[in-house]
Amino acid sequence: MTVLFGIFLLTLLVITAVAIVQTRNLFVAVMLLGIFSLLIALNFFILDAADVALTEAAVGAGISTVLFLGALALTSERERLGTQHRWLSLVVVTSATLVVLYATFDKPLFGDPGAPVHQHVAPWYLEKTPEYIDIPNVVTAVLGSFRGYDTLGEVFVVFTAGIGVMFLLSAHSGGANRRKQEASGIGLREHLIPRVVGRLLVPFILLFGLYVQFHGDYGPGGGFQAGALIAAAFILYALVEGEERTLAALPQSWLNALMVSGALLYGGVGLAGIVLGSSFLDYSVLSADPIAGQHLGIILIEAGVGMTVTGVLLSIFHAFAARDQA
Amino acid sequence: MDIFLNLLSWVLLSAGGVFVLIGGIGALRMPNLYTRMHAASVTDTMGAVLVLTGVMVQAGLTLATIKLGAILIFLLITSPTASYALASAALLAGIKPDAGQAADRTRGS
Amino acid sequence: MELLGLYHYWVFAVLLMIGFYAVVAKVNLVKKLIGVSLFQAAVFLLYITMSKVTGGTAPILQEGMVDPVFSNPLPQVLILTAIVVGISTTALGLGIVVRIKEEYGTIEEHEIQEIDRR
């Protein structure tokens, strides 16, 4: 039965992807991209990747759709001319597909426990997590502690993207028009139902974001998902009440502080390892008991990740939303 | 007792599936946007309530049941709001809630 | 089970090439960025497919488990990072597209090249 369900979901994915590429209306393409992200998140969940499914649903289906719609509002909504070099591209793409399809026959069998990827490193992580770190979620243990250096790089990539977008879009063209636009009822202020429901939901979404942040040790969750959820709560408020009131609630200076302090917190925990006599990003020396030190280190860096991701996603949203329409 | 709970959850899940199917067929076959949204809202309300209640019966009295109840309440609050936002956006964009040929017949008589 | 596994890999190949086609053949810049997103999603699907172990569960240790079989946590960690990096590059790409629209007045690639040539 799960075989049938898996085949059905994968077929839906392909149909959605073809529809995304074929449609000339970019608004439709972005909405279908949201559906595509949700379908692939379902697929990840069936393949036992709960953390990845949560991240894909929150980031891919939620934040990515909002960013694309923000960019579409500032550019055009329809593709004017469709395709260039259609036949040459089709030939190249078809031959590349055939090559990759030929290569799939040499891949390891689906679910084979003897496949090369399941030897050496992964069993070591699964075995040593209770001994060194002692938290139930192995993915968070590997992400936060065993491979903490990679996650540090990821936090800095997110931070760089944030400041990159702010550099690109922060020089306002025509700030005076913006003031007039705010007064004319931006947001959904005159629609009562979305306004009431949106304002009712925002505290619960924030609460859920905090729950996901702190439960990353015990179940699927962690800093990235929590950052995306908290940013989504503020984006909902901005869509309902208008961007100016959201900036009054959480000003840009606080967002800058969140971005920077998240990355600094992560780096600081790493340096604290050096100061206390061990190597960079070694959490065992943060406390008297090495396992308690690991717990403390993972909570601190997940908090740093959550802060940076929230700050960056909200700054990017405000950069797109505040841009004057050409 | 166990067999009764299993039977109940089967009935609820199948009924939920039937309502989702009805909503899907309606969303495809209805003439214009507003009637299609009305059909699709069957999925969000009856379909969601029945399917989630069926799964809650399966989960028994654990923490998972409370989480499923929270999801159900969230769905029941947000999906009608989304339908309202979609309908008012369509009205603002100028799509008229025209019933098509049925309206022409009543207008003529 | 083997059919399902092969089907996963075939869907990966097809999605990869659909995304690639959108990047190569479409003229609109936003459509190209959507194609890049599709390409990335296909790669994520491949890695997570390889991490699944038959009869396994999600890699979350729980008390009272007798000899459990877990799916591989390592590709999941990789893809978690990759998803976040993907959204960062998409956001940056969309910022560049917005600026291009403001400077050139269009986001169709051949029109931009023509304006550049003048």
Average pLDDT for residues B42-50, to the nearest whole number? 89
Judge whether residue B102 has pLDDT over 60. no
* Distances, alpha carbon B104 to alpha carbons B33, B38, B89, B96, B107, in Å: 18, 21, 25, 14, 5
pLDDT digits (tens, 9 = 90+) for A42-101: 999 988 899 999 999 999 998 999 999 999 988 877 777 777 788 898 999 999 999 998
Q: Under an 8 A CB cutoff, do A191 and B78 touch? A: no
Residue C61 lies in a domain: no
- Shortest Cα distance, chain A CAs vs residue C100, angstroms: 9
Q: By mean pLDDT, which of A2-6, A155-159, A198-202, B88-92 is the weakest?
A: A2-6
User: 3-state class of C53 per DSSP?
Assistant: strand
Judge whether residue B57 has pLDDT over 70. yes
Structure-token pair, residue A157: 């990539």
If pLDDT is split at 50, 70 and 90, which confidence band does A188 have?
low
Q: What is the b/e burial string over A186-218, where b = at least 16 CB atoms within 10 angstroms of the residue's CB?
A: bbbeebeebbebbeebbeebbebbeebbeebbe
pLDDT, position C110: 83
Q: Which of A3-12, B91-100, C31-40 has the highest mean pLDDT?
A: C31-40
Average pLDDT for residues A31-35, to the nearest whole number? 94
C-beta separation of B41 from B104 below 8 A: no
Environment class of B94 (CB within 10 Å of its CB; exposed 0-12, middle 13-18, buried 19+): exposed
Q: Under an 8 A CB cutoff, do A165 and C95 touch? A: yes
pLDDT, position C114: 86
User: 3-state class of C70 per DSSP?
Assistant: strand
Q: Which of A98-112, C29-43, C61-75 has the highest mean pLDDT?
A: C29-43
Per the structure, the count of domains in chain C is: 1
Judge whether residue A178 has pLDDT over 80. no
pLDDT, position C70: 87
If pLDDT is split at 50, 70 and 90, which confidence band does A206 have?
very high
- Distance CA(A167)–CA(A164), nearest Å, equals 5
- Shortest Cα distance, chain A CAs vs residue C115, angstroms: 16
Residues 6+ apart with CB under 8 A from A250: A234, A314
| Number of cross-chain residue pairs from A and C with Cβ atoms under 8 Å apart | 302
Domain over A1-79 is classified CATH 1.20.120.1200: yes
pLDDT, position A325: 55
DSSP state of C63: T
pLDDT, position A3: 76
Residue C110 lies in a domain: yes
Q: Under an 8 A CB cutoff, do C34 and A92 touch? A: no
Judge whether residue C64 has pLDDT over 80. no
- DSSP letters spanning A127-152: HHHHHHT--SBHHHHIIIIITHHHHH
Residue C62 lies in a domain: no
Average pLDDT for residues C21-31, to the nearest whole number? 91
Against chain B, the chains showing at least 3 CB pairs within 8 Å are: A
Average pLDDT for residues A141-157, to the nearest whole number? 92
pLDDT, position A326: 41
pLDDT, position A277: 84
pLDDT, position A187: 57
If pLDDT is split at 50, 70 and 90, which confidence band does A129 have?
confident
Among A193, A201, A204, whose Cβ lies nearest the Cβ of B84?
A193
Residue C64 lies in a domain: no
Environment class of B58 (CB within 10 Å of its CB; exposed 0-12, middle 13-18, buried 19+): middle
pLDDT, position A106: 83
pLDDT, position A175: 47
- Distance CA(A190)–CA(A193), nearest Å, equals 9
- Distance CA(A273)–CA(C27), nearest Å, equals 51
Environment class of A39 (CB within 10 Å of its CB; exposed 0-12, middle 13-18, buried 19+): buried
pLDDT, position A276: 87
Judge whether residue A174 has pLDDT over 60. no
If pLDDT is split at 50, 70 and 90, which confidence band does B100 have?
low
pLDDT digits (tens, 9 = 90+) for A249-290: 899 999 999 999 999 999 999 999 888 888 888 888 888 888
Judge whether residue A316 has pLDDT over 90. yes
Range of the domain at C9: 2-54+69-117
pLDDT, position C81: 93
Give percent above pLDDT 70 in chain A.
Answer: 93
List of chain C residues whose C-beta atoms are within 8 Å of the C-beta of residue A173: 102
Give the CATH number, domain containing residue C26.
1.10.287.3510
pLDDT, position C13: 93
User: 3-state class of B34 per DSSP?
Assistant: helix
Question: Domain ranges in chain B?
Answer: 2-108
Dihedrals φ, ψ of A137, to 5°?
-85, 110
> How does the average pLDDT of chain B come out, rounded?
86
Among C59, C74, C85, whose Cβ lies nearest the Cβ of A121?
C74
- Distance CA(A318)–CA(B53), nearest Å, equals 40
Among A188, A191, A197, whose Cβ lies nearest the Cβ of B77?
A197
pLDDT, position B109: 46
Residues forming a β-bridge with C108: C28
Judge whether residue A183 has pLDDT over 60. no
Write down the ipTM of this complex.
0.93
Question: Domain ranges in chain A?
Answer: 1-79, 120-326
Average pLDDT for residues A188-208, to the nearest whole number? 86
Average pLDDT for residues C52-63, to the nearest whole number? 84
